[in-house]
Structures are given as C-alpha cells and as structure tokens.
Amino acid sequence: MNQAGESYLDIVWKQFKKNRFALAALWTLVPVVLIALFAPLIASNQPLVYFDGDAVLFPWFLSLFHPDETVDFIFNMAMLAMVPWAVVSVVLSAWWRQRNVPSRTRVLGATGLLVLMAGAMVVVFSLPGMAPRHPYAGRTFVEEEFGNPDARGFYTLVPYSPRDQERGSAFQPPLYRKPAAERERASEWFPHLLGTDDIGRDVFARMLYGTRISLTIGFLAVGIYLSIGIVLGALAGYFGGTTDILISRVIEVILLFPSFFLILTLVAMIGPSIYMIMVVIGLTGWPGIARLIRGEVLKQRANDYVTAARALGASHRRVLFRHILPNALAPALVAAPFGVASAIVVEAGLSLLGFGVRPPTPTWGILLRLGSSNYNYWWLIVVPSLAIFFTVTIFNLVGSGLRDAMDPRLRM
C-alpha cells in the first residue's frame, strides 16, 4: 500500500527508480546538458585573459554576449546565470530544509529558478545597448600571440573554436598536431583530439557546440508539437461532435504522409535553418500526441469528478484545463523523450542529405555528411554517429522508464 499523503509524482518517481537502466540514463543526461552548457569554457579560441604589454584584456567573457548563433547566445546566458543561481539556490535550499520541504520540491524549485534567471538574462542582454561591447571582435589573438613575444594569452582547455579554420590541416585524423615549422598560431601546439574536417576546423570543438544545436532542436520541436497536440487533442476529446470530427480528419490527413519526407519537402521549399527545422518538426509531429490526449480525455470525461464539477457550475474551460487535462497528460509526458530522440535523428538525417542546418553552423549531421563523401575519413563518421546513438539511447531509455512508471498495472 502507498503511504498516506504520497503524491502522484512520488509514486511515479518511486516506480521510475526501479528501472535501473532508465535511472542511469537520466543521470547520464545531466553531463550531456552540462557539456552543451559549458561548451565555451571547454573549447574557444578567445583567451580567458590576454596580456598585451601593459594591457590586460578579457576577450572570452565579452565574446559570450556576441556569438555567431542565437542558440549559442541563449546557452551562454544560461551558463552565466549559473553563477548567481548557485549562490541563491544554496541559500534557498538551507531555508527550505529548515521548513522540511521535500527534496523533490527543492530540486524542481531550483531548476525553475535557473530557467527564470537564464530567461531574464537572455531578455535583458538582447535589448539594444545592454550587452557589453566587444571591441576585440575583429582580432585574432592566437595569431597576434604567435607573432608578438610580449603577448601572452591563457585559453580554455581546448584552444579551438568550432569555426576556427587551420590552413593545411584539412581532413587530418584524431590527435593530429601541426608540425612546429608550419605553425602560424599560438594554439596550433594543441592536438586536434578528434581530427579536423574539410577546411581544417577542429572536430572536437564542433561536436561540443553541435550538442547545443541537437538538444535545442529536440526540446523546442517537441515543445511545439506537444503544445499543439495537447490543446487540439483535449478539445476533440472533450467537446466531441463536429469539433472531434474536424480535428480527427485533419489528424488523419497529416498521418497519411510519411513524416520525414513531408519534413524534407517543406524544408526544401522554405529553406533550411535551425529555426525552420524546429518549426517544421513541431508542425508535423503533433497528430500522434493529439490522438493520445483525445483518448485520455474521452476516458476522463466519463468520470464522476467531471460530473461533479459541472454540477457545481464550473465552466468548460475550467473543467477541461483544470480538472481533466492534468489527469490526461501522462501519454504526452511519456512520448516527450521519444520525441526528442526522434527530432535529433531527423535533424541529422536532413543535414546528411544537405537539407539541414546551413554551414558553418556546427551540427553532428553536417560532420556525417563530410564523412559520407569519403570513408577514409572514418572519424567524421564514427564520432558523430556514436554521439547520435548515445544521445538517442539516453532519451529512449528515459522514455521507457517513464512509460513503465506511469503504467498503473506495474505499481506494487
């Protein structure tokens, strides 16, 4: 029997922890997100501190506010937000512990606080004039340091950026290091851990920043079609009649088309970009969620609590969104991790075919495409393939764990 006062989330979490593979996958997802978050702190050609004579510069910090991609700007602000968040969360955690707040509530509260602080920083520093100026944007510090004995820079763990081209180092295997006699930059003493691509860019750096693109496309695309599918499925299941018929027919029409080829056609017509891929995946993935939610709402609508709410004079909106929908979201929550995995695979497939994100944006699919042109460049096939397989497996295991945890037949 369940303990008195045990909430539904407590029951689900207890069931989820029984699945050791799903629990391990959930914890493995944490470093994957941290790698995406702290990518500039791992690989960057901007020095953390640069000494040029008597001048002391901090190019790395200023470059965080002026990246090449909007996705990088959002992740950079989230990384910077972790500093004040860590201080505030420690204080809040101590305060919550004194009041015997459950650990799950503390974790959810701290996570929500981080999201709010990161969102606030994105909004504030997106406003004109709010972001610090970057007067060194046009300077190449690794070249200046190489030719200036009085200059000295301290760099991140890997002194390469995802767009940093190295002349004469195209298609080099892992651990390649440019010969000393041919070096033109101070950073070229460091080996390319995972080799280089067709124009001498470091594969390790591009893999790190490609994690940001893959996770962003996965989470936002799933967020789009979850929102659409939940709303339309709830309306179809609750109101029935003409509303149900119209929405169901639209669902059936969209499901008639193979989703990947539909996405491929739309991207080819509209043009490839990060945001277009997210929107297209979102607009084509909602029918499955809508059918799941429709079925759950139909079952919940027949329960006594819905009849009681109507007898008390509750409006349709309150009955649907306040009472029925929270009890019908389980299928959508289970489908979400599988959807993220599917979106990552779709983006990689589109990039492999040349319809994905436009170069020079670093993505795993673009690296696969470079390797597919010549199998001698095995590192361009093996490395991104393993990354895609690893990430997709993590999300699938988490989804399987949620499915088992939310199945009432498996509760003991």
- Structure pTM? 0.89
> Looking at residues 220-228, what average pLDDT do you find?
92
Alpha helices, DSSP H, located in 161-273: 203-239, 241-256, 259-270
pLDDT reported for residue 7: 65
pLDDT reported for residue 216: 92
Hey, which bits of 5-60 come out as E strands?
Answer: 49-52, 55-57
Give 332-345 pLDDT, tens digit per residue. 888 899 999 999 99
Distances in whole angstroms, Cα of residue 404 to Cα of each of 294, 331, 336, 398: 21, 11, 14, 10
Q: Say what angle helices 70-98 and 203-239 make with each other, to 10 degrees.
A: 70
Q: If pLDDT is split at 50, 70 and 90, which confidence band does 1 have?
A: very low
pLDDT reported for residue 6: 61
pLDDT at 294 over 60: yes
pLDDT reported for residue 412: 47
Spatial separation of the C-alpha atoms in residues 58 and 133, rounded to whole Å: 12
Any idea which of 48-52, 68-72, 104-108, 382-386 has the lowest mean pLDDT? Answer: 104-108
User: What one-character-per-residue DSSP string does 69-137 give?
Assistant: SHHHHHHHHHHHHHHHHHHHHHHHHHHHHHTT--HHHHHHHHHHHHHHHHHHHHHHHHSTTTSPP-TTT
> Looking at residues 310-329, what average pLDDT do you find?
85
pLDDT reported for residue 379: 94
- Comparing 396 with 374, which gets the higher pLDDT? 396
Q: Say what angle helices 20-37 and 8-17 make with each other, to 10 degrees.
A: 100
Q: If pLDDT is split at 50, 70 and 90, which confidence band does 103 have?
A: confident
117 Cβ partners below 8 Å, 6+ apart? 81, 84, 85, 88
Spatial separation of the C-alpha atoms in residues 176 and 169, rounded to whole Å: 9
* CA pseudo-torsion sign 41, 43, 45, 50: positive
Give 354-368 pLDDT, tens digit per residue. 888 888 889 999 999
pLDDT reported for residue 21: 92
> Looking at residues 167-180, what average pLDDT do you find?
92
> How much of the chain exceeds pLDDT 90, in percent?
51
> Looking at residues 165-182, what average pLDDT do you find?
92
Q: Which residue has the tokens 């289970």?
A: 334
Q: If pLDDT is split at 50, 70 and 90, which confidence band does 202 have?
A: very high
Pairing status of strand 49-52 against strand 151-154 = antiparallel
Strands lying side by side in the sheet with 151-154: 55-57, 49-52, 151-154
Question: Which range has highest mean pLDDT (85-94, 101-110, 324-333)?
Answer: 85-94
The conformational region for residue 175 under phi > 0 = left, psi -120 to 50 = alpha, else beta, is: left
Spatial separation of the C-alpha atoms in residues 397 and 214, rounded to whole Å: 18
Residue extents of the structural domains in the chain: 203-410
Given a contact cutoff of 8 angstroms between Cβ atoms, the answer to whether 251 and 290 are in contact is: yes
Alpha helices, DSSP H, located in 302-329: 304-311, 316-318
* Tally of CB atoms within 10 A around 239: 15
Hey, which bits of 150-199 come out as E strands?
Answer: 151-154
Spatial separation of the C-alpha atoms in residues 95 and 57, rounded to whole Å: 40
236 Cβ partners below 8 Å, 6+ apart? 243, 244, 247, 248, 290, 294, 297
Across the chain, mean pLDDT equals 88
> Looking at residues 154-165, what average pLDDT do you find?
93
Spatial separation of the C-alpha atoms in residues 245 and 248, rounded to whole Å: 5
- Comparing 92 with 409, which gets the higher pLDDT? 92
Give 231-284 pLDDT, tens digit per residue. 999 999 988 889 999 999 999 888 888 877 878 887 778 777 788 888 888 888
Instruction: State the architecture of 203-410 in CATH terms.
Output: Orthogonal Bundle (1.10)
pLDDT reported for residue 54: 83
